[in-house]
Structures are given as C-alpha cells and as structure tokens.
Chains A and B, each alone.
Chain A
C-alpha cells in the first residue's frame, strides 16, 4: 500500500512537470539568449515580467517602461501603431537622454541587442497578433530648415497651443506643466525645448517631426490635429491674426467667417474620413488639407529645432572656462545689454546621490554663467532653467509637497596654491571650508554668505557685506545677478585677484521636484578666472587646472552612472 502511494506521488510529480512544460510551451517563443541578456541587464529596472517594476524602479522618474502595455514613446510609425524592431533596437542602442534609460551600444553586442528586442516583444501579445507590419511615417515633402520656415513655425507654435504645456518660449514651463501625468499616473514634465539634447528620441528635425505625427504614446503630449485644418499656411496665419483682434471691421468679419466655414467643412470631411464614408471629392480635399498639415508640422519642427543648440554645450573647462571680462567702467546691471556681448559658460548639474536624502531624477540640467569685473568689483550673471517658480513650501494633494527654489554658488575660502593643491571636498567642503553665496526664490534681492564644512554643516556668516544681488523668474528661467567687491575685510570671504584660477561649484534646488536640503542637484569643481587685462598679460594659462577638473567631472559622472544602474 505504502509503495503504491509513493508511485502515485511520483506519478503526480511527473505529471505536474509535464503540465509545467506545456504551460511554458504555450508562452510565446522565447529566445534563451534574449532572456539571459534581459535578466542580466534590464530586469532590475523593467522587472522580470516586463511590468516596469524592477527593484530600481521605485526611485526613478520617468519610470522604466512597462512592456506589457505595448505603449512606446519613440517610434517611426504612425499614431496607434507599434514600433518597428529597428525602432526598439535604436532606442536600446542609444538610450533615452533625460531619463535613466542607458544606451547599450558599448556594453552589449549588436547581436545581443537584437536578441533582447525579440525578448521584450514577448511581453505584449499585440506584437504577435498584428498581421501587417506597422505603418511608417512618411518624411515626404520635408521643408528644409530656414529662417523663414522657423518664423512660420513660431506662429504655428501658438496656434497649435504648444505653449499650454511647453510655455511661451518653450522651456517646459506651460501653465499645464505641473499637473501632467503619464498613463501610469506618474508625474510627467513636458520637455524643455531649449534643451534638445534631453529629448528622449533625439533632436534631429526628422525625429521631432516623427514625434508630432506619431505621438508620444502613453504620455500627456497629445497628437496634433491641425487646429486650422483645411486652411493653407497663409490662411492659418491670417485666421489667427483675426481671431486675436479685439474688434474687426465688417470686411474682416466676413473674411473671418469665410475661413471659419472652410475650416468647418474640412473638419466635417475629416470625421467622414474617420468613418470611412467620404466620397471621391471629399477624399480629394482631405488630401489637400493633410498636405498643408504636414507642411505646417515641418515648419513647427524647424522652429523647435531653432530653440536649442545642436548638442549639449561643452562644459566650462579648457577653452570654455568662465573668464570674467575686464571693463574700465561701472559693471553692468542685471538687464543691461552688455551681457549679450559675452558667451556663457555651461556648468552641467547632476543629482546629488551620495548622501541621504538623494535626488535620482534631477530636473535642472545646468547653470550658465557670465562675468565682468573692474578695478574694485566683480559681477556675475547666472541663469538656469526651472519649469516652475516655487517661492514657498506647499502641500498639494495632486502634485505632492513642493519646496522653495534656490541656488548656492560655492568657492573655497582659500584658493589652493597651484593646480595640484588639494581643494575642499566638492560637496560643501569638509576639513577645508568653503565660502558660499546662497540665494532663494522667496527673497529675490537677497544673497546670504555662508561658510560650510560639510553638506549638513553650513553657517551664515556674521558679517554680511560688500555683496548685492537681484533675481528674477521669467518664462521658465531664473536670472540671478550678483556683485561683490574683489577684496573684503572678512577673513571668511574669498579674496579675488586677476589671473588667479578660482575653483567654483554649484548646488541648485527645484522645489517642485522635491529638492530640499541634501536632495538637490550639484556640480563638481570648475574654475573661473578674472581674465587679466591684455596689455599686462603675465599669466600663463595652466592647462593642468583644466585637465584636473575634467578628470573630476568624468569621475563624478561615472560615479553617478554606476549609482544609477
């Protein structure tokens, strides 16, 4: 009897394993290699089952893609279509700038990348079920980039109401920006169009155009339907002009009504097309209207392209180091045109992830700086983009707790002698103290001098003097003007002298992104110099300084990257 029981047990186990096997065979074809690569490199973010819920996902925003929904942002295919394999391969190769999705060009072989493409497709049945290959977006009729096209695109930017989310000049600061969410219910910031290097899908004109025509699936960014459908570009511009008039003459009124009617008819036809019940003539006028729409989209893409430099600017090292320019006269005020004569130096920022609480999802990309000095004073103009102007701590049910925006500019108290001398620890000093200028969005004309010996160990200086500031927030950008005497009587202050390279670093807080205290964005040490007056050029530019700060930057970046992955 007992032995029989054992037999049954074995039988059961055997059958069970068969059951198990058949279950596995029912699942979509699995490439062993693809699975292996996925579990090794992707699962900790995207989750073993592809639900976007890997162990690292909790701290990330935007969240890693949930592959089970088949929603892909970056596609070369039309709205509502799945991406092509090539799209997936490209995004895996290049990564998604401005998010934590890394590029795998160097760390995975092309073959492995193809295998993993096949594997992630198994998470969503739609890939198996679609009979026809996805329809590609046609790039026919592309309008080449020109000043003229950019100008037309600028008008369309308003007419298409892009500013609602992206703001008047495109810095992602539209009035709808703070409440946007993706389809998974997570906060979703509209792109800063002035920082094209952070576009997820690249900032070639073709890329931008594809995002308009194909949409960014799963995000809040809508598909565009021509708001003046059926009108030519000239007519659209005219319509907009009339629409914004407070009062129209009788003739204008008539013109407006005619355009309005033309549009109404075109929209009617659009609906008929969607239902598949348009006649030949209607199909014809639909095609004409669509052609105008594609043209408008190209102009719009050209305009977006014009808002940003081609690549991320070079950081302020080597030949781009921040050089304060000498002037004999008074130093320019915040809004003076003199500032426009200088190029700015670019200081990239990264999330502070060394000390708790950390910032894994930075929203401030960088600080830009310019400077002038004269015989007694130095003035700086700092600018940085931030989508929202937060001047106080606020508790909001929908958007969570927000804090005050702020910035701190950091120098050593004593300038290290020679390029190899040790600088204070870059995170607000340590054994060696740092000297800081702290500015907060709630008190725009006030700057506070601090001395710090560690990120949680800063003190306001007793003597606050010889320093002035003015700040302002417009169109998604902070502008901060600071002026100080070159020399002061305070031993805790930095003393400046032409020709000497001075270490400089930044911390910034975006209150809407939860930045407060150590949760902030930071830079490593860079340097600036009061450029000596040309006639008395006695100083040789020490390339070592540049090399060193470059090394530090690379080191920091690497560190951040490793922390992130």
Chain B
C-alpha cells in the first residue's frame, strides 16, 4: 500500500514538474546562453589563504577562417586597419580567446577591485576589448579615439527593458555609461552607424570571473576553500549550464581545469 502511495506521489510530482517545465520551456532555451548566479545575494568577506583555479580553454572542431569585415563607410578612419569577425578567435594550439570562465554558485568571497575602471575603446571603428566583465552597477567608460561619430548600443536582455543606445560624436572623447538597471550577464554592444562593430559586456555580481586571453588562459584567484561549480560562456560556443564542472579548492591550493568547447549547434 505504502509503495503504491509513494509511486502515485512521485507520479504526481513528476506530472506537476512536467507542467512547470512545459510552461517554462521557452525560458529554458534562452537560459542556455546566460550566466548562472547563486540565488543568494553575494556577500563580501576577507579571504585568507584562498585557492586558485586556472586552466586553458581550447576549441574542438575545424577552425573556420576568420571573416574579414567589409568596411562600408568612413573608410578614411575605419579602413586603415583590417578588421575581422571576432566571434571565434582561435590561437595556435587551438586555444580559444574571449571565453568567460566563472564560479556559478559562490555566494561569499572577496570584493571587487574598486580601482578597476572598465573601459571600452573605439579606435579605427573597432571595439576593444571584444569581451569584458563589469561589476553590476559600475559605469563603463567608452572612449572615442576616432574622428568619426559612433553610437554605443548596449542591448537589453529579456529580464530588463532598458537597453542603452547613445550617440558619441567625434567631439566626445569619453563617455561614461551606466548599464541598464538590473542588467545581468552578457549583453551585446553594437555601433549601428558602423554595423560591423560588435562587442560583449557581461554585468556580474561577484569578482570570480575571468576572460581567457590570447593563449586561452584564465585564472581565478583568492577563492575561499570549498566545492564550486565552474561554468563558462562563449559567444559562439555557448555555455555549459547543463553540465557544469565541479572543482574542489583547498586552502592555498591550486586547481587546474581545462575546457574544450565546440561550436553551438546552429538553430
């Protein structure tokens, strides 16, 4: 009898869950391209004898030739350098640049580097860097080093309406942009005037984030000892939200964790 009851209950729960999942399936698909954060609000604390997580991100698959971007206007300013589509930058040894690697479930740890002032440069009609992280609520300083008018269009996400789209004429060398209220995770940045100019900024609630360099390397430092889920995000390769890697950091220890990414499946 008891077992019957149990079976029924499980069934019931499963059905209920199924319903829930069904209703939410749209959301879930979008979630696959987002960053995952702990539900708890992040608390800062002094981290003593923290550990370190480092590794190399590589690309698995045939490396397509980088597409050269067509410069359709302002050639005198924009045309002086060749520009390439930076959605997938693979270096020697198949190392992958511009991957965000981070701790998904941390809710306590060090504070942000308060001195850091995130900057996005526009020179010869290219955004630099292509991917960067910005503490939630921190302003982004956008530089215009071109004798040309740009517009900085920071897209909204489905969770917040306020995309930001501001013009920066050639007179305005420096402009500070606070991200959209409640912005979270990676959002696209575009200059509509020069349609090929694209970059990403990720608004993040804690400092345990790294972006891989030309060698595909990342390092997360001062990690309080414990077990964490390690996630990644890449513009062209997506995320590992479905199967994050678990790492255990010992006091003062160092953990190595490499990743190998494949292109997102075309929709």
Contact = CB atoms under 8 A, between A and B. Distances in A.
Interface of A: 4, 8, 11-12, 15-16, 19-20, 23, 49, 51, 68-71, 80, 82, 124, 126, 159-161, 164-165, 175-176, 178-181, 183, 215, 217-218, 220-225, 227-229, 243, 260, 263-264, 267, 271, 274-275, 398
B246 interface: no
Contacts of A49: 26
B141 to A, nearest CB: 8
B165 A223 contact: yes
B169 A161 contact: yes
A12 B8 contact: yes
B136 interface: no
A80 B163 CA distance: 7
Interface string B144-156: 0000010111011
A176 B195 contact: yes
B15 A16 contact: yes
Nearest to A175: B73
Given A82-B161, A222-B192, A160 B167 contact: yes
A69 B163 CA distance: 10
A265 B19 CA distance: 58
B163 A220 contact: no
Contact of A217 (B161, B168, B174): B161
B165 A398 contact: no
Nearest to B155: A183
B123 interface: no
A228 B175 CA distance: 13
A217 B163 contact: yes
A398 B195 contact: yes
Interface stretch (B92-100, B176-184, B255-263): B176-184
A404 B161 CA distance: 39
A274 B151 contact: no
B43 interface: no
Given A223-B165, A267-B175, A12 B193 contact: no
Contact of A274 (B12, B139, B156, B171): B139
Contacts of A4: 4
Contact of A222 (B4, B74, B165, B194): B165
Contacts of B168: 225
Contact of B171 (A12, A217, A263): A263
Given A222-B192, A275-B176, A23 B19 contact: yes
Given A19-B19, A176-B194, A80 B12 contact: no
B13 to A, nearest CB: 10
B80 interface: no
25 contacts: A4-B4, A12-B11, A12-B15, A16-B15, A16-B19, A19-B19, A23-B23, A159-B169, A160-B167, A175-B73, A176-B193, A176-B194, A178-B72, A179-B195, A179-B196, A222-B152, A222-B192, A225-B166, A225-B167, A227-B149, A264-B173, A267-B175, A274-B139, A275-B139, A275-B178
B215 interface: no
Contacts of A20: 19
Nearest to B181: A80
Nearest to A180: B192
Interface in B6-27: 8, 11-12, 15-16, 19-20, 23, 26
B172 A227 contact: yes
Contacts of A263: 171
Nearest to B169: A227
B107 interface: no
Given A12-B12, A16-B16, 5 more contacts: A71-B161, A126-B160, A176-B195, A223-B164, A225-B168
Given A175-B73, A179-B72, A69 B167 contact: no
Q: Which 3 A-B pairs have the closest CB atoms?
A: A179-B195, A70-B161, A227-B169
B220 to A, nearest CB: 29
Contacts, number: 122
Contacts of A160: 167, 169
Contacts of B128: none
Given A12-B11, A23-B19, A222-B151, A71 B195 contact: no
B19 A228 contact: no
Interface residues of B, number: 46
Interface of B: 4, 8, 11-12, 15-16, 19-20, 23, 26, 70, 72-74, 139, 149, 151-153, 155-156, 158, 160-169, 171-176, 178, 180-181, 192-196
Given A15-B12, A69-B156, A227-B167, A274 B178 contact: yes
Contacts of B73: 175-176
A228 B171 contact: yes
With most chain A CB atoms within 10 A of its CB, the pick from B70, B171, B174, B193 is B171
Contacts of A15: 12
Contacts of B155: 183
Nearest to A396: B70
Nearest to A221: B165
Contacts of B74: 175
A439 to B, nearest CB: 27
B161 A222 contact: no
B192 A176 contact: yes
Given A222-B153, A227-B172, A275-B176, A11 B8 contact: yes
B260 to A, nearest CB: 29
Nearest to A273: B176
Contact of A8 (B8, B26, B194): B8
Contacts of B172: 225, 227, 229, 267
Contacts of A264: 173
A19 B15 CA distance: 10
A215 B15 contact: no
Contacts of B8: 8, 11-12
Contact of B12 (A16, A82, A181): A16
A124 B157 CA distance: 12
A183 B156 contact: yes
Nearest to A240: B171
A274 B169 contact: no
B257 to A, nearest CB: 34
B193 A164 contact: yes
A179 B151 CA distance: 14
B161 A126 contact: yes
A161 B149 contact: yes
A16 B19 CA distance: 9
Given A124-B161, A165-B192, A175 B16 contact: no
A434 B101 CA distance: 68
A164 to B, nearest CB: 5
A69 B165 contact: no
Nearest to B149: A161
A271 B23 CA distance: 43
A56 to B, nearest CB: 20
A12 B19 CA distance: 14
B161 A69 contact: yes
Contacts of A260: 171
Contact of B158 (A69, A218, A271): A69
A126 B196 CA distance: 32
